[in-house]
Amino acid sequence: MGFFQAISLGLALGADSFSISLSIGLNKIGWRRIIKLSLLFSLMQVVLLVGGVYSSEILLFIVNCFPKLAGLQIEVVQSVAEKIMTFLGAAILVCLGINMIKGYFFKEEGRVVTYSGRFGLFLLAFSVSVDALTAGFGIGILNDLNIVLVSSVAGFVIWLMAFVGLSMGQQIYRFVGYKAQLAGGVLLMYLAVFFLWKTF
């Protein structure tokens, strides 16, 4: 996997992060928080991508050592874990969306990002990044894989997409004001339903 393939991988994995970042950016947040959130989304994707790569290598080693495990349906376990994390992530999105809509009607600003706490945002970033784990598991079987190149390039692309999404949302907020919270809240709830529909 070369440089341009790594860029394509980053674009594919960063699509969900961009959508959520754009929605969150429609709330009043500062540049410091934009940087922190974009780093959180990208670092989580990179960690799970690398984790998926090494998990596939460990699994192949175990199967080679224990032939009886060759029939183990890893895909089933992986699918169940993905559904659980997607459900939890969708729940966080719904909570964020409700809070943004509430902020619109009650003229409350700047609370959406802190509403679910650090653990909630961590869980949200993890659930959005589950695809990276699957992708890492898939590309882990490639013989010419340069994990440093792939993770670095894909991670930068994902960070850039999240940063652009948050920045675009913030610019829209500056022009529209707190009314953008309503659109952001509705978009977050739509994304929650979309992720559930795509997974289940």
For residue 120, what pLDDT is reported? 72
Domain ranges of the chain: 3-199
For residue 62, what pLDDT is reported? 62
Determine what percent of the chain is predicted with pLDDT higher than 90: 18
Q: Give the model's confidence band at 153: pLDDT under 50 very low, under 70 low, under 90 confident, else very high.
A: very high
**Between residues 125 and 177, which one has the greater pLDDT?**
125
Full 3-state SS string of 19-58: HHHHHHHCCCCCHHHHHHHHHHHHHHHHHHHHHHHHHHHH
pLDDT digit string, tens, across residues 111-121: 555 445 677 77
**Between residues 124 and 165, which one has the greater pLDDT?**
165
Amino acid, res. 28: K
Amino acid, res. 120: G
For residue 86, what pLDDT is reported? 76
Average pLDDT over residues 100-125: 67
pLDDT digit string, tens, across residues 33-50: 899 889 999 999 999 999
∠ CA 122-136-59, rounded to 5°: 110
Backbone angles phi, psi at 110, to 5 degrees: 75, 20
Say if CB 95 and CB 24 are below 8 A apart: no
Provide the angle, in degrees to the nearest 10, between the axes of the packed helices 117-128 and 130-139.
40
